[in-house]
């Protein structure tokens, strides 16, 4: 089955005339005649311009933790914007929102707001460099930290074949336009490899300002850290005067109220937040140790932004944080996430498909391979084509998931047990159809 594009296609044709490739982010372009046009989202559903309705597990690639167009958040924003949004000054709403972040995130002492995950990781990296007076940094293969030059190496979209040998990884630059010399500032290492990171740090710690890590691979099916891996990174950072940065843009206010810090029990020096902080409104933050953050300002490290802590973003973030703080939203999500995860697992097993379930229930995935999956390089064994076929059958049945296993399934408060059961029924049919 394919959906009518009677209304969607003319809109996309117009988009192609005015927006490069018809989109405002490369990842959104799915083809001249395939790219969806979405007109509405409510709760766990989205609708396209032709009125087709989908259960949504993409959730804007993670920000939606409550549900699309959540009435409580919308109302808070609607009220706040009556008073104006951008003053180039501190506001009470900003202070209250920061106080909530500090209350909910273990080890959070000082923070700054910004607008996007990209800005948050960029500022966190600069802060770490300013604090340590060192310039290089470590990141892990398959991790995406946003769209600024320093981090666009060996990300989730990089071909594994371009990453070199596992013992001697080559930072694979993502696309053109990034000065070649930037490669000299980065070490890209396999995730979950205790020895590789220890060796690199021992060899080069005099130059390494920070280890920046997504605590679980939010851009590779949510693959989780092995027991002790994050603590190992923290220990190395403490020992060798490096700053540990958790990029919690996908995990923050999603895994638990305290994010990966709480879920995995390791407190880094700095964390970055964005997506779920605003349930769809653009807002981000970075912060952690007061000692490290103290290098910002006063002639020290530069951090600025006209729209940082604007009224609309702060109202959204304050509403989201208050809801999470006052009710067990994320715990409930984890329960329903397990219902989904167990259901998917059983259906794949019953169908005789070797697979690996991965990720935290609130940000999960699965890979079609009999081999254990610990890092991005393990994806060479995954059956991409079959995964894509199953997801296209899901789409035909009104369930929208990325057809690429690297992007996790996200859950939100509005995914009820009934919606999950409906998803599982459709998944069973889709798997049967795909392997028939
Ligand atoms: C872990 C992580 N960090 C940073 C970013 C960049 O965030 P943004 O798209 O808001 O700039 C993303 C985006 O997907 C992400 O997944």
Average pLDDT (264-279) is 98
pLDDT tops 80 at residue 158: yes
Q: How far does the centroid of ligand 1 lie from the alpha carbon of residue 347, in Å?
A: 31
pLDDT tops 90 at residue 2: no
Average pLDDT (392-415) is 97
Confidence of residue 1 (pLDDT cuts 50, 70, 90): low
**Cβ 219 under 6 angstroms from ligand 1:** yes
pLDDT digits (tens, 9 = 90+) for 183-198: 999 999 999 999 999 9
**Cβ 309 under 6 angstroms from ligand 1:** no
Q: For the CA atoms of the chain, what is the radius of gyration? A: 21
pLDDT digits (tens, 9 = 90+) for 276-302: 999 999 999 999 999 999 999 999 999
Q: Which residues pair with 410 in a beta bridge?
A: 363
d(CA 324, CA 309): 20
pLDDT digits (tens, 9 = 90+) for 65-100: 999 999 999 999 999 999 999 999 999 999 999 999
Q: What is the pLDDT of residue 389?
A: 98
- The residue whose CB lies within 8 Å of the most ligand 1 atoms, and thus the one to mutate among 144, 360, 407, is 144
Average pLDDT (42-57) is 98
pLDDT more than 70, % of the chain: 100
Task: Name which residue leads in pLDDT, 369 or 1.
Answer: 369
pLDDT digits (tens, 9 = 90+) for 201-245: 999 999 999 999 999 999 999 999 999 999 999 999 999 999 999
Q: What is the pLDDT of residue 23?
A: 98
Q: How far does the centroid of ligand 1 lie from the alpha carbon of residue 5, in Å?
A: 30
pTM of the full structure:
0.98
d(CA 287, CA 361): 26
Residues 6+ apart with CB under 8 A from 7: 37, 49, 50, 51
For 41, phi then psi, to 5°, come to -135, 140
């Amino acid at each position: 089955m394919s959906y009518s594009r009677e209304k969607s296609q003319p809109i996309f044709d117009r988009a192609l005339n005015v927006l490069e490739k018809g989109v405002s982010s490369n990842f959104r372009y799915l083809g001249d005649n395939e790219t969806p046009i979405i007109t509405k989202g409510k709760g766990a559903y989205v609708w396209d311009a032709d009125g087709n309705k989908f259960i949504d597990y993409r959730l804007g690639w993670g920000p939606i933790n409550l549900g699309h167009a959540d009435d409580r958040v919308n109302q808070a924003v609607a009220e706040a914007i009556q008073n104006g949004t951008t003053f180039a000054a501190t506001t009470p709403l900003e202070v209250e929102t920061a106080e909530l972040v500090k209350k909910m995130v273990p080890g959070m002492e000082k923070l700054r707001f910004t607008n996007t995950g990209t800005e948050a990781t960029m500022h966190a990296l600069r802060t770490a460099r300013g604090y340590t007076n060192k310039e290089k940094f470590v990141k892990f293969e398959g991790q995406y930290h946003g769209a600024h030059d320093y981090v666009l190496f060996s990300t989730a979209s990089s071909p594994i074949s371009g990453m070199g040998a596992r013992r001697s990884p080559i930072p694979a630059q993502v696309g053109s336009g990034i000065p070649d010399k930037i490669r000299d500032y980065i070490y890209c290492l396999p995730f979950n490899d205790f020895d590789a990171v220890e060796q690199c740090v021992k060899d080069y710690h005099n130059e390494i300002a920070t280890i920046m890590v997504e605590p679980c691979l939010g851009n590779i099916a949510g693959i989780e850290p092995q027991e002790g891996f994050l603590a190992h990174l923290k220990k190395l950072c403490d020992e060798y005067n490096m700053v540990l940065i958790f990029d919690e843009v996908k995990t923050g206010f999603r895994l638990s109220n305290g994010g990966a810090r709480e879920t995995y029990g390791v407190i880094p020096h700095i964390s970055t937040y964005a997506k779920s902080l605003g349930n769809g409104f653009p807002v981000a933050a970075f912060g952690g140790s007061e000692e490290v953050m103290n290098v910002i300002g006063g002639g020290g490290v530069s951090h600025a932004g006209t729209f940082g802590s604007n009224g609309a973003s702060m109202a959204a973030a304050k509403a989201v944080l208050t809801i999470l703080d006052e009710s067990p939203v994320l715990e409930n999500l984890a329960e329903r996430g397990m219902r989904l995860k167990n259901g998917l697992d059983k259906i794949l097993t019953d169908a005789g498909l070797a697979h690996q379930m991965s990720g935290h229930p609130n940000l999960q995935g699965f890979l079609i391979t009999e081999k254990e999956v610990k890092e991005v390089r393990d994806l060479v064994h995954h059956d991409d084509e079959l995964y894509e076929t199953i997801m296209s059958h899901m789409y035909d049945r009104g369930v929208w998931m990325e057809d690429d296993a690297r992007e996790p399934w996200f859950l939100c408060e509005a995914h009820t047990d009934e919606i999950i059961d409906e998803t599982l029924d459709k998944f069973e049919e889709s798997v049967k159809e795909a392997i028939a």
